[in-house]
Chain A
Amino acid sequence: MTTLAHIRITPSETLLNGKVISNSNISGIYREFIGDYPKFFKMDSLCKLGFIAAELILKGQTPEQKENASIILFNRNGSLITDRNYQKTIADDNYFPSPALFVYTLANIVTGEIAIRHKIYGESSFYVLSHQDDEMMLDVVKNAYLTSPPSFILTGWVDYEDEGNYLADIKLVTK
């Protein structure tokens, strides 16, 4: 597999292709580099993280290349951060279930947000693993070519625990 680009975002720094481009938090990165997508603020934290990672790594890809790309992402927490927030809206004594939160109680929504923004019509998949298992992730991504070869695959780890603890480690790969 060939890596076309690589981005790594943590609370302390953002590295694009090995170079530090920011030390901001997620919203800070959005304002500094993107800024033209009000829907960003409706997303939950996992989606915001995946969104900014995708935005930065997909710069330079043409619409034609993006149309047939695939998005295959992994994490350990699933959508737990939002699951907990949603659970709070269904407390017995304060029962007001929030649809805007409920829709984000599925980890794969991050792949959907990326697909919508970049008009990616290829595969969008999400897997939950017990830990960041690079070998397993690489297998899953290589194997995607066995049934449906994409133009390239946006893939990697995107996990959010809290504002001091998150990681997007995402690559654009091709066979």
Chain B
Amino acid sequence: MENLILQLKNQIIEVLNLEDMTAEDIDAEAPLFGDGLGLDSIDALELIVLLEREYGIKLSNPAEGKQIFKSIASIADYVSKNRKK
């Protein structure tokens, strides 16, 4: 799981253009949206693409995203249970 969390951190930094951030800067439990990293609706959509491209997980309902994308930890949990790649 630790590897997955690190991998996700790096992928998210890249796809969401979180310049000047490294994996060490991101707390796996911290909220990604709202206060935390301050991600927005377009970032949420990009995370959906990330899940499909890297892990073969297709989210049919974007509303599911809210729970899944709460934090890096929650994404890692979801990916480990649902990944097809």
Contacts and interface: CB of A to CB of B under 8 A. Distances in A.
Interface of A: 38, 40-42, 96-100, 103
Contacts of A103: 42
A28 B52 CA distance: 34
Interface of B: 15-20, 38, 42-43, 45-46, 49, 52-53
13 contacts: A38-B20, A38-B38, A40-B19, A41-B19, A42-B42, A98-B46, A99-B45, A99-B46, A99-B49, A100-B15, A100-B16, A100-B43, A100-B46
Contacts of B52: 96
Contacts of A97: 49
Contacts of A38: 18-20, 38
Contact of B17 (A41, A96, A99): A41
Contacts of A99: 42, 45-46, 49
